[in-house]
């Protein structure tokens, strides 16, 4: 399987061979759904917390006598019906555990990469070396390609690229070690630096 390689001006300069076991696999939606669901559930913090009637600080004694006052009977001040009392069935901290097997995670990334290539939304770049840290340089480069939400995957740290793109809301720069299904699916276009392909292949080999 051969794909075109582009420079930062958006011109084809060469071709590169892509491994079929990574970029040409059948896409199964239920696998992608399972992995993305697991990623999103893992991000849930569940830190909201309220106090029940047994946790509210205050006297446990009866506020006033049961009969003869003309008012409704009442027990402790921590009753949920009183101001400052406990909360009925309020939220408590929790952690959602959704384990996804490593083989399934790798398979989902391969499917997402294959989907990008099949739908012609994968651009392989010879490099992404900007002359300096400036958002203007980065935006000029991106204008040479298709407009849309973009994910840029590099082989390692690229300080000029990462700093120049951080103020652009529709772009995310990711090092190949952090390649994941959710980011691939949630961005319309994928820009993959050519030097990162062997590292991706090594990480995703079945």
Query: Which alpha helices (DSSP H) does 12-81 contain, by range?
Result: 20-23, 29-43
Model pLDDT, residue 96: 78
Token pair in block for residue 177: 């070690």
Residue by residue, what is the 3-state secondary structure of the chain?
A: CEEEEECCCCCEEEEEECCHHHHCCCCCHHHHHHHHHHHHHHHCCCCCCCCCCCCCCCCCCCCCCCCCCCCCCCCCCCCCCCCCCCCCCCCCCCCCCCCCCHHHHHHHHHHHHHHHHHCCCEEEECCCCCCCCCHHHHHHHHCCCCCCCEEEEECCCCHHHHHHHCCCCCEEEEEHHHCCHHHHHHCCEEEEEHHHHHHHHHHHCC
A 10 A CB-CB count for 168 gives 14
The residue behind tokens 């090594």 is: 202
Token pair in block for residue 38: 């697991």
Domain assignments of the chain as residue spans, ordered by start: 2-44+98-204, 46-94
In the predicted model, what is the mean pLDDT of residues 171-189?
93
Task: Give 95's pLDDT tier (boundaries 50, 70, 90).
Answer: confident
Residue 5's beta-bridge partner residues?
A: 14, 124
DSSP state of 47: -
CB 13 within 8 A of CB 7: yes
Model pLDDT, residue 99: 84
Residue-averaged pLDDT of the chain? 91
Tens digit of each residue's pLDDT (9 = 90 or more) over 137-151? 999 999 999 888 999
In the predicted model, what is the mean pLDDT of residues 116-128?
93
Residue 139 has phi, psi (to 5 degrees) of -65, -35
Q: Which fold has domain 2-44+98-204?
A: Ribosomal Protein L4; Chain: A; (3.40.1370)
Token pair in block for residue 158: 């690229």
Q: Cα 181 from chain centroid?
A: 8
Tens digit of each residue's pLDDT (9 = 90 or more) over 29-39? 999 999 999 99
Q: What is the pTM of this model?
A: 0.78
């Amino acid at each position: 399987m051969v794909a075109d390689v582009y420079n930062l001006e958006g011109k084809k300069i060469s071709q590169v061979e892509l491994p079929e076991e990574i970029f040409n696999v059948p896409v199964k939606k239920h696998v992608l759904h399972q992995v993305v669901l697991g990623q999103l559930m893992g991000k849930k913090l569940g830190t909201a917390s309220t106090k029940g009637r047994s946790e509210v600080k205050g006297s446990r004694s009866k506020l006033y006598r049961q009969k003869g006052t003309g008012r409704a009977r009442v027990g402790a001040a921590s009753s949920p019906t009183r101001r400052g009392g406990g909360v009925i069935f309020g939220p408590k901290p929790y952690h959602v555990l959704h384990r996804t097997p490593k083989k399934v995670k790798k398979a989902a990334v391969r499917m997402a990469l294959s989907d990008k290539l099949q739908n012609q939304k994968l651009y392989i770049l010879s490099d992404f070396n900007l002359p300096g840290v400036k958002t203007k340089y980065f935006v000029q480069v991106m204008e040479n390609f298709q407009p849309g939400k973009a994910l840029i995957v590099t082989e390692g740290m690229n300080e000029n690229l990462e700093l120049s793109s951080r103020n652009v809301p529709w772009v995310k720069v990711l090092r190949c070690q952090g390649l994941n299904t959710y980011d691939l699916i949630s961005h319309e276009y994928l820009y993959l630096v050519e030097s990162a392909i062997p590292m991706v292949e090594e990480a995703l080999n079945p």
